[in-house]
Amino acid sequence: MKRAQSEVVGLLVIVVILIFMGVIYLGFANLAGNGSLSSQRAGMETENALNALVRVNLEEYDGKTVQDLVVECANRIDCDTLGYALNEVYGAILRPGTDFSFWAKMEEEEIYSVGVCSIGVVSSYVFVRDGNYYELRLRLCNE
């Protein structure tokens, strides 16, 4: 009887050691995965910034939206106004010092671009106006 009890206690000690080692492994594995959390945060920030840009009515531009300004730029009416509006809106919603790149395309033809980011998280927004397909893309630069 004593021998059986000592074998059970030995087995219990082995199980406790394995559980302890598993907890330590999970702790280190969680520390190594923090890079993906920051990239998820950057992705959400990029998506939210583009959605804010698309949904805002610009009072200084006769209540037009960025979509309206992109359509005007595509029709070769005025692309400078779009650039001013982008800088104004992103200056208000992005953290100070955050650089960005922005592209607008109509039917796969680039009609407007600003910024020089080559690395960063990209978000896109698609809309249709007057039978034409438009795509807006925003990339926030990695710091």
The model's pLDDT over 13-33, given as tens digits with 9 standing for 90+, comes to: 899 999 988 888 877 776 655
User: Model-level pTM?
Assistant: 0.68
Please give the pLDDT value at position 88.
Answer: 86
Provide the mean pLDDT of the chain.
84
For residue 2, pLDDT over 80 is answered with no
What are the sequence ranges of the domains in the chain? 1-32, 42-141
132 has a pLDDT exceeding 60 = yes
Q: Which residue type does 134 have?
A: Y
Q: Which of 92, 91, 90, 72 is nearest to 82 (CA)?
A: 72
Average pLDDT, stretch 105-132?
88
More confident residue, 40 or 127: 127
Sheet with 120-129, strands from edge to edge, namely 109-114, 100-106, 132-141, 120-129
E strand spans, 10-108? 57-58, 64-65, 100-106
Question: How many Cβ atoms are within 10 Å of 21's Cβ, its own excluded?
Answer: 10
Distances in whole angstroms, Cα of residue 102 to Cα of each of 11, 90, 119: 62, 11, 13
Predicted confidence (pLDDT) per residue in 38-89, tens digit: 777 778 888 888 888 888 888 888 888 889 999 998 888 888 888 888 888 8
Report residue 71 as tokens: 């359509």
Strand partners, 140: 100, 121
Please check the confidence at residue 1 and state whether its pLDDT lies above 80. no
Would you tell me the crossing angle of helices 34-55 and 2-32 to the nearest 10 degrees? 40
